[in-house]
Amino acid sequence: MKDLTITAIIKVYQYDELNEGDRSLIKTAMEATARSYSPYSHFSVGAAALLGNGTVVTGTNQENAAYPSVVTLASAGRTEKDLIDHTIPPCGACRQVILETEKRYKQPIRILLYGKECIYEVKSIGDLLPLSFDASAMED
């Protein structure tokens, strides 16, 4: 038997340490949160993604009785007053979707996770999902 040690490098920032582009992206995610529909979990999530061509797209969780949520890329609270203190990483299902998107486009997706106390920067979803399912490992 041997031990396997897995490490992840996650940078921790204060809001004022971020560049203007990152602050703008976080603000856009916060604004998107107001469009969340979460009558079951009462946990609103908003996301903003900066694409390679400079376009910013947003998303929110949209719950329904048949399926509890739509995948998003970042989390934030409903209003500035109600924002959470601590960062909360994406759920497992969201992590898998982000991982498969990274693999599809063959480049890492940088993730900023916002909390009032600090912001986490993750260079790739692999740091949050180190032992992920990989169908290509089954191919010969």
Alpha helices (runs of H) in the chain, residue ranges in sequence order: 20-33, 92-105
DSSP β-bridge partners for residue 11: 121
* Amino acid at site 109: I
Average of per-residue pLDDT across 86-105: 87
Residue 97 clears pLDDT 90, i.e. is over it: no
Q: What is the pLDDT of residue 27?
A: 94
Q: How much of the chain, in percent, has pLDDT values that exceed 70?
A: 84
* Residues 110, 71 contacting (CB under 8 angstroms): no
Residue 82 vs residues 1, 20, 26: alpha-carbon distances, Å: 48, 23, 15
Q: How far is CA 94 from CA 70, 90, 137, in A?
A: 9, 6, 21
Q: Which of 55, 35, 38 is nearest to 47 (CA)?
A: 35
For the chain, give the percent of residues with pLDDT over 90.
44
Dihedral over alpha carbons 122, 44, 96, 127 (to 10 degrees): 20
Strands (E), 17-68: 46-50, 56-60
